[in-house]
Amino acid sequence: MKHEVPYRCGHTGTRIIKGDESAQKKWLDTLAAQDCPMCWLKAQPVEFSGDRNNRVTVHRGYPIKEELKARGYRWQRPLWSIKFRSSEGVASELVWAANQGYRVQWPESLPPDLLSRGAEIASARPGWMIVGPSK
């Protein structure tokens, strides 16, 4: 049966809920205590990661999709990605992302001098979340 769900964030949505009346009521109460799917997605942390093919991918990038488009990223379900010509391009993009406050995973394929330079920059700037290497 279709129900209008008033989510915690203030949005409403239509959901089909099956089951007897008490089960439907319980499920409606559960949904009403949560954010709507779009608000939930926007609250998830944006994460940048690099790989050995000189590609940077962005997980959960919906909240910054316009900025990603402007930087040359392409949507390739389920992530945003951009390919660079060199590992230096990957490193500079990851440094930019970290500087914006996004979570970053450094690929172990980056040359050691770039990794150490990234770690130096990160230690000098509180609030950066440098996580790595990615697997």
**Quick one: average pLDDT of 14-26?**
91
**Whole-prediction pTM value?**
0.62
Residue 135 has pLDDT above 70, yes or no: no
Assess if CATH 3.40.1170 describes domain 45-134: yes
For 76-125, what is each residue's pLDDT tens digit? Answer: 988 999 999 988 888 888 888 888 888 888 777 666 666 566 566 555 54
Neighbours of 47 (CB within 10 A): 19
pLDDT in tens, 25-55: 999 999 999 999 888 877 888 999 988 888 9
Neighbours of 63 (CB within 10 A): 15
Domain boundaries, the chain: 2-41, 45-134
